[in-house]
Structure 1
Amino acid sequence: MAHTMQRPQGPSTFDKSTIGALTGAGVGLTIGFIFGSYSILRGGAGPRGALSTLSQYMLSSAATFGFFLSIGSVIRNDTNQLEYIRRAHPSPLMRSRSEGLAQLRAKWELEKFQKRH
């Protein structure tokens, strides 16, 4: 019976993208609140008022962070899938470190033997 690697089950690419977007939105809201509050305290609320200015900072920051963390989650997911494929179907040129070391030692022993005889 041939041994086959089973793919680990986990969240789909869409699920990871959604999780990344929600995480980024949360981080963006927090950063937007901090910088928006600082901006309002430093320069005043402006003609639209404090709440409107603060919400604009928070929403634009949440959208930006959410977008980029969503993309980053998808890229990371693709990288994990490529790693799975690489491990499931190793290239004949790629060997483990122990196999390479064993082959190198065998070559050295052969060279030593040839020099003696």
Structure 2
Amino acid sequence: MPVTVGPYGQSQPSCFDRIKMGFMMGFAVGMAAGALFGTFSCLRIGMRGQELMGGVGKTMMQSGGTFGTFMAIGMGIRC
């Protein structure tokens, strides 16, 4: 299949590259949101020290993965 060329000679990213980029952007945004909400919720229930770090890390990974998945699906629809 021929590579599509843009108006200035650059090739366009493939659909898979766009989906990967959407997942990475969504994962980064989800991690930031997970850090904020996870810290607040863990401090609210009284976690401290290593337990706090584990809880916040778990929340960050969960929200990053969820938001990244939805962003990847959205980028896949746009392809």
What TM-score, normalized to structure 2? 0.81
- The one-character-per-residue Cα deviations of 1:76-100 (angstroms, maximum 9, x if unpaired) are 12xxxxxxxxxxxxxxxxxxxxxxx
Gaps of 5+ in 2: none
DSSP 3-state at the match of 1:49? helix
Does 1:24 pair with 2:49?
no
Compute the RMSD of aligned alpha carbons: 1.9
Partner of 2:12: 10
Alignment-mate amino acid for residue 73 of structure 1: M
**Deviation at residue 7 of structure 1 after TM alignment:** 6.7
Alignment-mate amino acid for residue 14 of structure 1: F
Gaps of 5+ in 1: 1-5, 78-117
Partner of 1:64: 66
The total of aligned residue pairs comes to: 71
What percent identity do the matched residue pairs reach?
35
What TM-score, normalized to structure 1? 0.56
Higher relative contact order (CA 8 A, sep 6+): 2
